[in-house]
Structure 1
Amino acid sequence: MKAANHLYSKEEQLVFVRSSFTTLERRGIAITPHFPDWIYRAGMALAYYGESGREIFHIASKLNPSYNQEKSDTQFSDCLRNFDPVRITWDSFVKVTDDAWVNMKPEVKEEKEKMVGQPPAKGDYEFFLNEEIKPDYLKLLKDATIDLNEELAPPPVCLEVVQGQIKSTIGTRGNFSLLIGKPKSRKTFLLSIVVAASLNSEPVLGLIKGSLPANKRKVLYFDTEQGKHDVQKAGKRVLKMAAKSATENLQVVYLRKYDIKERLKIIETAIYKTKNLGLVVIDGVRDLTSSINDEEQASMIANKFLKWTEECDIHIMSVLHQNKGDTNARGHLGTELQNKAETVLSITKKNEVSLVEPVLCRDMDFQPFAFGIDENGIPVPADPKELMSSEEDEAFKPGKSTSPDSSQNLAKSKEPGEVSVETHKQLLELVFRENPHLKYNELLTQVKHASRICRLNLGDNKAKEFITWYQSNGHISKQGKEKTKGCFYQLEPVPV
């Protein structure tokens, strides 16, 4: 059997495995007589498919003369309880079945070869898989090819920050966003603002505006961390800020009591079964994995978000904690989600005011805004200047470590010549990552934006100093005639 986990989805693998053992059962071929522990090993491997693997486990087990239905059922239940999603994968089942074929009697091997007309190579089980089950990759290629002559509309905007006449998009249908912050920084309150805005016709706090059409007004709110009472409290808070008619469009689900696999399946089922769905909020994406540093699980979550948002034409906003020692999103999961998200927002809290800032935006960055909580537990606008005006608040600003040594080092590193070569390289790569040719205002915005990721937090004047320094040292150049439409800045291949 080919270890092709990257080629077949879990559902396709399950069809493949069921087809294999149904064929064995029909032909009366037992591949386990000389393999005493095969039943246990196969059970652990089939537990990879959850309850769906139980039927196949019985089909495979009863081909053995010592098969007992009740004992086998108990055996599989034990396998499900002891299943380790990190250690047991599709490849585990491949190894078990390949080992079993090796231990078959010669006459059974002959029968196997008759089934396909020629002796298959060891480890090749694809003779069991009907052609119609295999993915048609030519069709997939055709579906994935973009017609460059077709007029494609941009993804519909569903969430914006409105500041005067300026609108900054923070969410579109077909994409997902990420909210990061320290514990107790009021991430859940910010989610309440976002959800209320999506259910409302008017901006919430005079800032956050939702624009879901009537046929996409349904919102799913999942909480993986809090208990039932606290999740209900968050839902009621949303309704207080939204229109009275919003109740029918908001579904709040608490998932704390379920295991990881159940949480993912519940969310996926709700997304595909909910009519008129426009927005999904997941408060606690970390609880959809067993480890935030598992690269495979992190990639799986990011890919599910990309798949769900595109196939269902929705926006997903998820929440993840920042690291204890810095302001980066936690673990491989945070890195993967941040790389794939269209928007990353950070929230920080000092005293009774929380500050919201853009970390990564495909659209124009909005100006930081702040909110507090009134006596009724409802978010109200606050002045962000109170948090950002004095020098003593420098260490509080997002992107900075809270340790005294670190904030002193950041303050000393504000001059371009005092910043490390690696940081300069990272900043310039981020600046020109999406567009190699930038107008000056675009360049200024991108330098400030990239400086947050690099934990420099440059303001307008300091960002302009960095641009001048990069020009004078040959790292970026200005092309075209100044003050014309053809004038732009580009990155030069000169080592920093």
Structure 2
Amino acid sequence: MKADMTIHDNHRIDEEKYRSLLKYIRLNVTEKYDFPQEIVQIDGVTIATLGNFSASTGKPKSKKTFNVSAIVASALSGKEVLKYKADLPPCKNRVLYIDTEQSKCHCHKVLHRILTLAGLPTDQENDRIEFFVLREYTPDQRRDIIRWALHEEKDIGLVIIDGIRDLIHDINSPSESLDIINELMRWSSYYELHIHTVLHLNKGDDNTRGHIGTELNNKAETILQISKNVENGKISEVRAMHIRDREFIPFAFEIGDDSLPHLVEDYQFKMSKKDRLSSYADMTEQQHRSALEAAFPDRDNVGYQALLEALKKGYDSIGYSRGRNTLVNLCKFLIQHGAIQKSGRGYTYNENFHL
């Protein structure tokens, strides 16, 4: 009898838990939902908002950590550093910096650099930044430490994880990669903060490493690519690899005699074919026409999802490979300029368009 009562009580607890969950996740048309607060911008282009995550990628020695240092320095000072302008809300004005790769000696240099860039004293502790060194721990232990830090530390608005690859055992494991990306989404949403992480690019190409790189490309708000100038290895270039907002103008920095990153003014980028197609708004009419003719060889009337898939195929053919968010904005651009027309319940390609 007692056992039956216990089972019944547990069932009631489960029902109450799921009723509460359903109430939390239900979307109501009559309620108003605030857009996530923008906290980091480049020339007015938003690259980071609260409740989301982003990443910096690049090959070894491309100065990824120097680039991240500039973001953190701006978050601490409110000043523009390199091209980054960060604005954390007063109730979330602290930074949690996690390094998984370097020794305490090297991490101390990073912390010293951040405070110097921010114009803050380096001879006293600063309670607005917590810097944890996790090199000696296992992937599972690192994740547990981050969970506990997020639970314990108050007023955190920005989290840096320099070395997301070290939070999993196998970089090519689909299940592990999906789990850690889900953790980033859960942490950033639950604690209402932004997480910026760092991942290497493959040595042989410009793709993010492993299955986790694929998941980052699909889920991240912004992915910044940092690359060394092919002619001058002292200069690093920063551009948007993927971004939900419009694309910003790439910029470059170099490391000065003071061991700090400095903006290279009036820098001239030497663009490859792929780089020249950095924005659909900058393409010529002929480039758009070539992509659209490849996308719609039979001029069929297609639904919205099929339209996005066709656009991806067509623009991939001219070297413009982008994710869903950019394709959605591209679709709006093409409809606005008459290249794509609404026809009944579907969409068609209008070959008589002009930009």
TM-score, normalised to structure 2, is 0.77
1:178-193 to structure 2, matched below 5 A, reads 178-193=55-70
Matched with 1:144 is 25
Deviations 1:181-202 (A, max 9, x none): 1111110000100000100121
In 1, the alpha carbon distance for the partners of 2:68 and 2:329 equals: 31
Give yes or no for the alignment of 1:250 onto 2:129.
Answer: yes
Deviations 1:132-164 (A, max 9, x none): 5536333312211112222222101111112xx
Name the CA shift for 1:302/1:492 in 2 (closer, same or farther; >3 Å).
farther
Residue 438 (structure 1) aligned to one of 319, 325, 332: 332
In 2, the alpha carbon distance for the partners of 1:129 and 1:184 equals: 59
1:434: how far off? Answer: 3.4
Aligned residue type for 1:145: R
Matched with 2:244 is 362
Aligned residue type for 1:181: G
In 1, the alpha carbon distance for the partners of 2:249 and 2:25 equals: 37
**Structure with the higher helix share, 1 or 2:** 1
Matched with 1:287 is 166
- Secondary structure at 1:235 match in 2: helix
- Secondary structure at 2:332 match in 1: coil
Residue 218 (structure 1) aligned to one of 82, 94, 112: 94
1:360: how far off? Answer: 1.5
Matched with 2:298 is none
In 2, the alpha carbon distance for the partners of 1:337 and 1:289 equals: 14
1:269-288 to structure 2, matched below 5 A, reads 269-288=148-167
Deviations 1:1-29 (A, max 9, x none): xxxxxxxxxxxxxxxxxxxxxxxxxxxxx
1:478: how far off? Answer: 4.3
**Residue pair 1:346, 1:359 contacting (<8 A) in 2 also:** yes
- Secondary structure at 2:268 match in 1: helix
- Secondary structure at 2:216 match in 1: helix
Name the CA shift for 1:265/1:133 in 2 (closer, same or farther; >3 Å).
farther
Matched with 1:53 is none
**Percent identical residues:** 34
**Residue pair 1:174, 1:315 contacting (<8 A) in 2 also:** yes
1:339: how far off? Answer: 1.0
Matched with 1:424 is 314
In 2, the alpha carbon distance for the partners of 1:144 and 1:212 equals: 27
Query: Which protein has greater RCO, CA pairs closer than 8 Å, 6+ apart?
Result: 2
1:34-49 to structure 2, matched below 5 A, reads none
Name the CA shift for 1:311/1:429 in 2 (closer, same or farther; >3 Å).
closer
Matched with 1:123 is none
In 1, the alpha carbon distance for the partners of 2:323 and 2:67 equals: 31
Matched with 1:371 is 253
Give yes or no for the alignment of 1:386 onto 2:268.
Answer: yes
Name the CA shift for 1:370/1:144 in 2 (closer, same or farther; >3 Å).
same
Residue 72 (structure 2) aligned to one of 195, 198, 202: 195
In 2, the alpha carbon distance for the partners of 1:349 and 1:425 equals: 27
- Secondary structure at 1:160 match in 2: strand
Aligned residue type for 1:140: L
1:324: how far off? Answer: 2.0
Deviations 1:430-487 (A, max 9, x none): 47743585135x98xxxxxxxxxxxxxxxxxxxxxxx9xxx8xxxx52469xxxxxxx
**Structure with the higher strand share, 1 or 2:** 2
**Residue pair 2:244, 2:326 contacting (<8 A) in 1 also:** no
Deviations 1:98-119 (A, max 9, x none): xxxxxxxxxxxxxxx99559xx
Residue 142 (structure 2) aligned to one of 242, 259, 263: 263
In 2, the alpha carbon distance for the partners of 1:208 and 1:195 equals: 9
Give yes or no for the alignment of 1:324 onto 2:200.
Answer: no
In 1, the alpha carbon distance for the partners of 2:323 and 2:155 equals: 40
TM-score, normalised to structure 1, is 0.56
1:428: how far off? Answer: 8.4
Matched with 1:477 is 340
Matched with 1:304 is 183
- Secondary structure at 1:296 match in 2: helix
**Residue pair 1:346, 1:398 contacting (<8 A) in 2 also:** no
Gaps of 5+ in 1: 1-112, 118-125, 401-412, 444-466, 481-489
**Residue pair 1:201, 1:210 contacting (<8 A) in 2 also:** yes
Q: How many residues get paired?
A: 313
How big is the alpha-carbon RMSD for the aligned residues of Structure 1 and Structure 2? 3.6
Aligned residue type for 1:333: I
**Residue pair 1:218, 1:278 contacting (<8 A) in 2 also:** yes
Name the CA shift for 1:395/1:326 in 2 (closer, same or farther; >3 Å).
farther
In 2, the alpha carbon distance for the partners of 1:237 and 1:200 equals: 13
1:492: how far off? Answer: 3.5
**Residue pair 1:326, 1:399 contacting (<8 A) in 2 also:** no
1:130: how far off? Answer: 2.3
1:384: how far off? Answer: 6.8
Aligned residue type for 2:96: L
